[in-house]
Structure 1
Amino acid sequence: MSWDPGGLNKNTRNKLYIILRFLRIEQTFFSLPMAYLGAFVAIKGIPPIPTLILIFLALFFLRTAGMTNDNLADIEIDAKNPRTKNRPLVTGAIKIREARTMIVASLILFFITSYFVNIWAFILAPIVALIIMSYPYMKRYTAFANYHLASIQGLAVFSGAVAVLGLYYNSLDQILLRVPWFFVIGTILWAVGFDLYNHIPDAEFDKKMGLHSFAVVLGRWALTFAGLNQLFSVVLDLLGDFYYGLGPIAIFATVLHGLIMAYAYYLASQKNDFGRAFYYNIYSSIVLGLGVDIDVILGIPF
């Protein structure tokens, strides 16, 4: 399996392009709609524009730190894996010193941005950062690393909600009660599915390296497990649509989100095309996030 979302053509010399591939910048843009979903649903309205900008910046800086840390932690593993041997840090297109500088700078900028979001975002920022920065080490110990990674996507929804709720409520209890938890948990289950699209092609390699994932534990049943997680995610998202009083646009977007995931599952299970399956999951998250946000903005009732 030659597909790799972080791979790079050896002849590439453009430094900006190399950095963007290294960060897998397109994955920031499938997390962003989910963060905005959390923000819009939490207050059932349009958040202040400065807050939306700060949400984007905080997400970008933290993803930069997390992705860079992930690549740095896995550099020796990636070098031995035929699928990942062309990643920028492995080939030297990005130096280790540069990666460490990116991590430090991005974390500093993340905490600064969180401070300007609201006090609760700033207080919770170290916990969020710890979850994200610890991810690459979890697969050395447990298959639940897949859920650890997926929880990072769920944190996008959670963090978007906290970013706006902290503007209106002084109590953390009040904020946590108003977080759209159906969508947080639904996003986690969705992310488990597409994360396994990364791990299933590497199952034999991971087993030899002593790495853990549900692809290794479940073997040929791993893809079914991925599909079931995503099926339950759609159920939770639909429940969220009704529980939070969303309208027909959100319902339509949720159904379409599920259909795109179903097609991705078909590509993985019938065509063995895990690369396209992975990217169709990006499209599905954009559909869901934008659909729910538009629904809130227009407020069209049933």
Structure 2
Amino acid sequence: MSWDPGGATASHGKLYIYLKFLRMEQTFFSLPMAYMGAFVAVRGIPSPSVLLLIFSALFFLRIAGMTNDNLADREIDSRNPRTRTRPLVTGAITTKEAKVLIAIGLVGFFASAYLVNRWAFLLSPIVALVTMTYPYMKRFTAFANYQIATVQGLAVFSGAVASVGVDATSLTQVLGSVPWLFVIATILWAVGFDLYNHIPDADFDRKMGLHSFAVVLGNRALTFAGLNQLFSVLLDILADFMYNLGPISYASTVLHGLVMAYAFYLASKGMFGKAFYYNIYSSIILGLGIDLDILLGIPFT
């Protein structure tokens, strides 16, 4: 119950504190999903510049979004025993530094979107708005769990827009090329593991007037998390079929589901930290498997 992915004691160096504050390792479970969207959308491999800009956009949006989340929740985190070692709470990172990070993150994100193609730049404010409003939404509705999960789904969406938009002549063409089944499946998957953050804090969140499905559902929240992830795997399998992907995609989807099932087992034993990180592994398996499938030219055309 004491697990916190964003905690860092003052005994660590500044670089380590920044990395923990931004949870940079989590960028690497979004990246395979973004590349999955890019590869599936064009049924091939985007140019190196597009792949680099996808990474750049995710990297900078992570900086802006995570810093904004920590800044918005600073007072709440200071009252929660689980999150009292977060850098903004301890003063290891100042409010001024946080605001500078948000500015850097947003400028870097919009610049990356502008450089990749006009459609990515046109749609980038929507992605930023969804990301930046999450910490305030949970003060009003439990559906904030779905909002933060949508940020992960938007990684798939954004990857597709980045790759297709290079040659697209209309927004309709861009949106029609997005692998929407994978977008929705990613959202459902992310709802499940996001609840691994909220279930240990359900009593605290209830006292603070914060909203999540962990608060609403109580002891049934873990089952709800599992059902979301079960439906996500079923949608992934349907997507493999609908997008005419090959055997590596199917195998990675099954393995993705098995890892999630193990994560659910860990969560049922109260090991939410381990469960959370096994979900990161599962996303890497799915994304890289599908990317490899397309890289090798296995999908039928």
Give the TM-score normalised by structure 2.
Answer: 0.98
> Match for residue 266 of structure 2?
267
> Match for residue 20 of structure 2?
21
1:212 partner SS: coil
Is residue 23 of structure 2 the alignment partner of residue 9 of structure 1?
Answer: no
Alignment check: 8 A CA contact 2:293 2:299 kept: no
Q: Deviations over 1:57-91 (max 9, x none)?
A: 01100111000000000000000000000001111
Structure 1 residue 113: Cα displacement = 1.1
- Within 5 A, what are the aligned runs for 1:1-302? 1-12=1-12, 14-269=13-268, 271-300=269-298
Whole-Å Cα distance in 2 between the matches of residues 53 and 11 of structure 1? 34
Q: Deviations over 1:77-118 (max 9, x none)?
A: 000000000001111110110000000111111111111000
Once the two structures are aligned, what percentage of the paired residues are identical?
Answer: 72
Whole-Å Cα distance in 2 between the matches of residues 67 and 300 of structure 1? 37
**Change over 3 Å in CA distance of 1:117–1:206 after alignment to 2:** same
Alignment check: 8 A CA contact 2:256 2:283 kept: yes
Structure 1 residue 301: Cα displacement = 5.4
Residue type at the aligned position of 1:41: V
Alignment check: 8 A CA contact 2:24 2:62 kept: no
Whole-Å Cα distance in 2 between the matches of residues 301 and 99 of structure 1? 45
Structure 2: which 5+ runs fail to align? none
Structure 1: which 5+ runs fail to align? none
Residue type at the aligned position of 1:284: S
Q: Deviations over 1:207-233 (max 9, x none)?
A: 000000000000000000000000000
1:300 partner SS: coil
Give the TM-score normalised by structure 1.
Answer: 0.98
Which ranges of 4 or more aligned residues in structure 1 deviate by more than 6 Å? none
Residue type at the aligned position of 1:122: F
The number of aligned residues is 300
Whole-Å Cα distance in 2 between the matches of residues 121 and 64 of structure 1? 19
1:83 partner SS: helix
